[in-house]
Amino acid sequence: MKNIIYLLSVLIASLLFTGCNKFLEEQSQDLAYANTWQKLDEVMQGDVYMRHFTNPPSNSYKESPDAMYFPWLNAMDDDITEFVSRPYYIDNRDDVFGFYTWQANPFVDKTYHPFTDDTWSKVYKSINAANIMIYQADQLHDNPTQLRRIKGEALFLRAFYYFYMVNVYASAYNPATAKTDMGVPLKITEFVQDKFFTRSTVDSVYQQMLTDLNASEQYLGGVTQSSLYHVDVNAVNLLQSRVYLYMQSWANAIAAADKVIARKPALFNLSTYKPQTSFFSGSNPEALFTQGGNAMVYLMGDAFTKSFQASPSLINLYEANDLRRSAFFETDAAGKIRYTKMYRSRTYNIFPTEMFSDNYYLRNAEAYLNKAEAAAMLDRAADADNALNTLRQARFIPSAFVPVNYSGEQLVSFIRDERRRELCFEGHRWFDLKRYAVNKAFPFITTIVHNYSDVNYGSSPFLKASLTLQPGDPDYLIPIPQDAIIFNEGALKQNPARQNRTF
């Protein structure tokens, strides 16, 4: 056990970041304690899973820093726009200013003062803790069944974290270039490697994700978890489906999605939805797994006059009878279209008893969409339409539901719009835009415009800047933290320079 403690401490200290002394002390104490499966399970909850919070933040997602991973992910795409109505001492936009306006250094506030974002280091801490858990589960023998479960969870979480790292900091998976495109550093062993870390290829990272998920599926098969905060095989198969979809491995994406649908076919019938309740809840039959915090409940906060709202291009995608328009959004007295899928309503003054994650709430509706997209790419229009209609039937009252019957490019376009309608602000759109651009059969690109306005006492709102993100812009890649670049003495290569958008 002492060797395990030493290996973890040196591994994390020598990997990609510095300033982790407190973490190392706590982690070492945790692992010294983890000499039974129950204690190992406790370490899993504290060091491998993301933290989560029960109550939403009041002024900033930074009030719950341990629970926030990629809190700015939904601030960069075309589903979001600003809302500015009158002066207010709190500006919700400030925490994600550099991301919403695609600054060269996105880690700045509106006065261009830099701040430290610890997402990179937190995720790699969790990855390295997962590496140790995977190893340690094989060293203990007190309860083989529970140890297999723990190992299966750790394998899933390692793949889950690498999925976000490679899609945030690297290019989308392009089958023609993935074997040479720079991904992120790949570290999967529990022992120390005396070297500076470099970026593995995008394909290498994806292949490792598949390896981990395939193993996790075997370990978690037949396991019934006690809560949504523990991974089960349905979450594993859903992430498998998503990974294959991003790789344009269509048949495999369908096969994995079908496993989820076979075991968890039920969808939330929105005709029974009560507006003072939460779509994001543990009672939602679609729910598979969740972890981490929720930044969107703050970024679209109901009491603030400088914040964000759903963009017109998103809202205009909903048909008049689409129940998601009223279940996922509400329009307040000032005209702001607020996102309330996770539920924080000004109209009903309702706060959820438990706050689920925005980006990490896995649900089976995605399986239907993944299957539909993959089937459309294989020219299996009937299968795609059937998956779409199954989902959409739960999103309309019966008398208003009209089945879709599309094929070819029209079908693909409809499915992409349906993903926006269904999965908005759940951490999908930014990644979807990146991968659509490199789709072999039906490439899609779009230009995004974000306006940034202000308002002073005694004046009306005025436009300060109108910013444009063009297809293929280097700003689709988030910069790797500079301390990681410096610590690895140039072995870890930075992404291409982003545009100077100072205003």
Q: 323: closest CA among 282, 266, 274, 386?
A: 274
CB atoms within 10 A of CB 425: 26
Q: How far is CA 481 from the centre of its chain?
A: 19
Residue 414 forms part of a structural domain? no
CB atoms within 10 A of CB 393: 14
What distance, in Å, lies between the first and last C-alpha atoms of the chain? 55
Domain that holds residue 214: 2-53+118-260
Residue 309 forms part of a structural domain? no
Residue 21 forms part of a structural domain? yes
Residue 470 forms part of a structural domain? no
- Between 340 and 434, where is the model more confident? 434
Q: Is the C-alpha dihedral spanning 480, 490, 497, 94 positive or negative?
A: positive
Contact 157, 290 (CB under 8 A): no
Residue 369 forms part of a structural domain? no
Q: 358: closest CA among 307, 418, 285, 429?
A: 429
Q: How confident is the model at residue 120 (pLDDT cuts 50, 70, 90)?
A: very high
Residue 190 forms part of a structural domain? yes
CATH number for the domain spanning 240: value is 1.25.40.390
Residue 214 forms part of a structural domain? yes
Q: 360: closest CA among 78, 50, 45?
A: 50
Contact 296, 280 (CB under 8 A): no
pLDDT over 70 (residue 348): no
Let me know if 118 is exposed, middle or buried by CB neighbors in 10 A (0-12, 13-18, 19+).
middle
Q: Region 407-433: what's the mean pLDDT?
A: 98
- Between 192 and 270, where is the model more confident? 270
Residue 149 forms part of a structural domain? yes
Chain segment 201-251, per-residue pLDDT in tens: 999 999 999 999 999 999 999 999 989 999 999 999 999 999 999 999 999
Contact 394, 270 (CB under 8 A): yes
Strand, helix or coil for residue 502: coil
Rounded-to-integer distance, Cα 151 and Cα 426, Å: 27
The pLDDT of residue 335 is 76
Chain segment 266-316, per-residue pLDDT in tens: 999 999 988 777 788 788 999 999 999 888 888 887 656 789 999 999 999
Rounded-to-integer distance, Cα 82 and Cα 336, Å: 9
Name the domain count of the chain: 1
Rounded-to-integer distance, Cα 39 and Cα 260, Å: 31
Q: 50: closest CA among 255, 292, 265, 214?
A: 292
Cα 10 to Cα 15, 35, 132, 191, 446: the distances in Å are 8, 20, 12, 9, 45
Rounded-to-integer distance, Cα 196 and Cα 487, Å: 8
- Between 162 and 331, where is the model more confident? 162
Chain segment 248-265, per-residue pLDDT in tens: 999 999 999 999 999 999
b/e 233-267 (16+ beta carbons within 10 angstroms → b) = bbbbbbbbbbbbbbbbbbebbbbbbbbbbeebeeb
Q: Tokens in use for 228?
A: 């949504």
Q: Tokens in use for 7?
A: 């290996």
The pLDDT of residue 31 is 56
Residue that the structure tokens 């995977």 belong to? 134
